Amino acid sequence: MDQAVNLWPLLGIAVVVAGFLLRFNPLLVVCAAGIVTGLAAGMMPLAILAKLGQGFMKTRNLTLILLLVLPVAGLMERHGLREQARDWIQGIRNATASRLLIAYLLVRELSAALGLTGLGGHPQMVRPILAPMTEGAWEKQHGELNPAQQQQLRAMCAATDNVGLFFGEDIFVAFGAVILMHTFLQENGVAAEPLHIALWGIPTALFAFIIHAARLMRLERQLLRRSGAAPRLKEQHA
């Protein structure tokens, strides 16, 4: 007879959801979720601390890799990368901020599904290229951005990159999370091939694309409504 699976460790997911909804510090939320999961699984406090330390030691070089990108991005910005990106998108006749972000979301999700997760990212893509292009497309259609509009537009650029990467990489069969799920299920007597796990990520990625694309389609109307610039938009199209 198969042994019953302990579902109490799933409380860590509830901690993550609650922490993000309450807008707590992400690092503290993730650490708290790990501690709750460990305690629910019957681990001793010292064992949980050891696991956290092992995870830090395995990924400590990741910070160095991210820091190496910053000087390169800064050098490109100093030589006019942001201005060139803004000018280029303004030369495209039908470009809008929403259409640009939806296209980027599609490309980001498809490339992540193929394992090409390094093609995007906040320091190397969102800040020097995507954000200036989105701002340029907006200014071409609606005029100069006010500070509140600019911050919200930049936040949506970063969110679009996150959504595309997070849900796209779950489809890649060699992604670490897919291998982790396969190992966990195998250890608990559940037969599931990594390819099958990755394929089940496709519906989630598809719905994520549809939902976020719908949010992006409403983005410009929301920004105009909050700024009171809707009448100006009608005058431009008149």
pLDDT band at 233 (very low <50, low <70, confident <90, very high): very low
Residue 111 CB neighbour total at 10 angstroms: 19
Q: Shortest CA distance to 109 belongs to which of 20, 204, 237?
A: 204
pLDDT tens per residue, range 194-210: 888 888 889 999 999 99
Residue 105: what pLDDT?
96
Overall average pLDDT of the 68-83 stretch: 78
Task: Give the highest mean pLDDT range of 43-57, 71-85, 159-173, 214-228.
Answer: 159-173
Residue 170: what pLDDT?
87
Half-sphere exposure of 134 (CA within 13 A, CB side): 31
CB 174 within 8 A of CB 114: no
Residue 59: what pLDDT?
62
Among the residue ranges 28-37, 69-78, 94-103, 204-213, the one predicted with the least confidence is 69-78
- Number of folded domains that form the chain: 1
Q: Establish if 113 belongs to a structural domain.
A: yes
Q: Establish if 24 belongs to a structural domain.
A: no
pTM of the model: 0.70
Tell me which of 113 and 62 has the higher pLDDT. 113
Q: Establish if 53 belongs to a structural domain.
A: no
Residue 35: what pLDDT?
92
Buried b (16+ CB within 10 A) or exposed e, 59-76: eeeeeeeeeeeeeebeee
Q: Containing domain of residue 96, as a range? A: 80-237
C-alpha span between 34 and 40 (Å, rounded): 10
C-alpha span between 113 and 115 (Å, rounded): 5
Overall average pLDDT of the 216-225 stretch: 86
Q: Establish if 159 belongs to a structural domain.
A: yes
Residue 159: what pLDDT?
95
C-alpha span between 26 and 31 (Å, rounded): 9
> How many Å separate Cα 210 from the centre of its chain?
15
pLDDT tens per residue, range 28-53: 898 899 899 989 988 899 988 888 88
Q: Establish if 3 belongs to a structural domain.
A: no
Which residue has 């993730």 as its token pair? 30
pLDDT tens per residue, range 137-179: 999 888 888 888 899 999 999 999 999 999 999 888 877 777 7
pLDDT band at 188 (very low <50, low <70, confident <90, very high): confident
Q: Establish if 23 belongs to a structural domain.
A: no
Q: Establish if 13 belongs to a structural domain.
A: no
The percent of residues in the chain predicted with pLDDT above 90, rounded, is 34
What contacts 140, CB < 8 A, 6 or more positions away?
Answer: 89, 90, 95
Q: Establish if 95 belongs to a structural domain.
A: yes
